[in-house]
């Protein structure tokens, strides 16, 4: 799988650009703000402190932001994480998958044209 194909499984750039009226500069600016948001750090801190309410809220926020930016893998895993946290189930595996997807997704940001 080439880089563009791999990226498409993480970021739906075409869909995202529709959301911002085709404004690539705006989309890249929003991607930068996504990184600055430190969403994963906030979720990890809440989970580690045992604050399920805050962890679920943080996962919900990440879900919404990633959906708006068409960050597909992060969005899907955020949905799963929020559900696990709210149900009180172990979320360790999904947290690890989300962290990995987050890191891979952010790694693709420089490739967004």
**For residue 95, what pLDDT is reported?**
96
Confidence of residue 3 (pLDDT cuts 50, 70, 90): low
Q: What is the CATH number of the domain that holds 30?
A: 1.20.120
Q: How many domains does the chain have?
A: 1
Inter-residue contact 61 to 41 (CB < 8 Å):
no
So what's the pLDDT on residue 5? 75
Round to the nearest angstrom and report the end-to-end CA distance of the chain: 19
Q: What percent of the chain has pLDDT over 70?
A: 97
Q: Which domain holds residue 53?
A: 3-111
CA distance 113 to 108: 10
Length of the chain (residues): 113
89 pLDDT above the threshold of 60: yes
Contact (Cβ atoms closer than 8 angstroms) between residue 102 and residue 74: yes
Mean pLDDT in residue range 53-66 = 97
Task: Decide if 73 contacts 101 (C-beta within 8 A).
Answer: yes
Task: Compute CA distances 66 → 1, 43, 47, 49, 50, whole Å.
Answer: 23, 14, 20, 24, 24
Q: Is residue 6's pLDDT more than 80?
A: no
Residue 23, classed as helix, strand or coil, is: coil
Q: Tell whether the model's pLDDT for residue 112 goes beyond 60.
A: yes
């Amino acid at each position: 799988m080439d880089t563009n194909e791999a990226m498409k499984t993480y970021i739906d750039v075409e869909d995202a650009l529709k959301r911002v009226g085709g404004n690539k500069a705006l989309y890249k600016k929003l991607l930068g703000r996504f990184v600055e948001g430190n969403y994963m750090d906030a979720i990890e801190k809440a989970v580690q402190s045992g604050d399920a309410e805050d962890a679920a809220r943080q996962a919900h926020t990440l879900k919404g932001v990633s959906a708006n930016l068409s960050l597909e893998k992060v969005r899907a895993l955020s949905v799963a994480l929020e559900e696990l946290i709210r149900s009180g189930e172990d979320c360790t595996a999904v947290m690890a998958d989300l962290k990995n997807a987050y890191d891979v997704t952010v790694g693709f940001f420089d490739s967004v044209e």
